[in-house]
């Protein structure tokens, strides 16, 4: 099987921070090493889970360069460049390309809620701005605007628009777009990784993978090999952690808390308007982590 352009086992990386909110280079280095060691072949930098709305342009570019330098040729680096302002997206795309990104992640413009024609014009403008391949990010719960199937199929005609991170959760629509375009699909909803992969998705862009990307790697391998029993067992094994991270408060908050609990990053610091996990959420997280940690090799 030809290796996917963006990788298959992608993680939506958190952005490690010091207690005051400054970016943490030691934390970032440890996180990249952890992700590569646990089987990640794609690192999504400065996306939703990376707290993109709070990052300045210089911070976003620094993150891409730092991750690209640390990862080398061991994983693709996909830089989140999406905002509600096309000009700002193009500026971030140029910065990401100069910093060493391998690809771009472009979310549908949020808050302004453009028409589908506006979404198409926006996406084409960003795709035309660099030589990097683009993964579209369809997450209407956050943006207020969905990428319609016809829009995705039209955008697939652009030579650099190559993939979709689907956080919409409409499996039938995803299968329809895959059937009528060459777009590679990536599940952007950890709760639905198994069904998306079983329906033909190329891979995942996982929040839970910050902590246990190795389980996702095995899940992808099981689906590719047609071993649904193993795939279901792996999904069941991850279920308590997926629920704790994705259904307790907010993914970035809980993923950082999990990484701090595992000793991968020193602090679970987030920037306002996010707040760190309260004790009751941390208890649920600790309970979910325990059996997974017990299963790690000594």
Q: Which of 137, 185, 186, 196 is catalytic?
A: 137
Q: Flag whether pLDDT at 206 surpasses 80.
A: yes
The yes-or-no answer on residue 137 being catalytic is yes
pLDDT for 236: 95
| Separation CA 296–CA 215 (nearest Å) | 11
| Separation CA 51–CA 47 (nearest Å) | 7
Query: How much is the pTM?
Result: 0.95
Q: Which of 285, 266, 297 is nearest to 24 (CA)?
A: 266
The yes-or-no answer on residue 168 being catalytic is no
Please give the share of the chain, as a percent, with pLDDT higher than 90: 97
Q: Which of 165, 185, 186, 256 is catalytic?
A: 165
Q: For residue 132, how many other CB atoms are within 10 A of its CB?
A: 20
Q: Which of 175, 207, 172, 176 is nearest to 189 (CA)?
A: 207
Q: For residue 93, how many other CB atoms are within 10 A of its CB?
A: 24
Going along the chain from its start, the domains and CATH numbers come out as: 9-236 (3.20.20.70)
pLDDT for 1: 47
pLDDT for 298: 39
pLDDT for 4: 84
| Span 149-173, average pLDDT | 97
């Amino acid at each position: 099987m030809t290796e996917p352009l963006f990788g298959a086992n992608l993680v939506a990386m958190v952005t490690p921070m010091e207690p005051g909110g400054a970016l943490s280079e030691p934390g970032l280095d440890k996180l990249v090493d952890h992700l590569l060691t646990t089987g990640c072949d794609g690192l999504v930098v400065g996306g939703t889970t990376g707290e993109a709305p709070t990052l300045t342009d210089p911070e976003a570019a620094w993150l891409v360069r730092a991750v690209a330098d640390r990862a080398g040729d061991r994983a693709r680096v996909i830089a989140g460049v999406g905002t509600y302002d096309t000009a700002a997206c193009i500026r971030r795309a140029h910065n990401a390309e100069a910093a060493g990104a391998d690809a771009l992640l472009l979310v549908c413009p949020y808050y302004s809620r453009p028409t589908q024609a506006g979404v198409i014009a926006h996406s084409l403008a960003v795709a035309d701005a660099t030589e990097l391949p683009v993964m579209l990010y369809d997450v209407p719960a956050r943006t207020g605007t969905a990428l319609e199937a016809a829009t995705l199929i039209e955008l697939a005609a652009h030579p650099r628009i190559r993939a979709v991170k689907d956080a919409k959760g409409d499996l039938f629509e995803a299968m329809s777009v895959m059937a009528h375009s060459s777009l590679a699909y990536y599940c952007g909803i950890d709760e639905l990784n198994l069904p998306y992969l079983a329906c033909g998705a190329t891979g995942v862009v996982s929040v839970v993978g910050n902590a246990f990307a190795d389980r996702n790697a095995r899940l992808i391998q099981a689906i590719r090999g047609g071993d649904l029993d193993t795939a279901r067992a792996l999904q069941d094994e991850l279920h308590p952690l997926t629920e704790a991270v994705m259904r307790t408060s907010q993914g970035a908050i809980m993923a950082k808390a999990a990484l701090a609990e595992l000793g991968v990053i020193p602090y679970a610091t987030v920037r306002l308007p996010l707040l760190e996990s309260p004790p009751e959420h941390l208890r649920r997280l600790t309970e979910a982590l325990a059996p997974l940690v017990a299963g790690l090799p000594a």
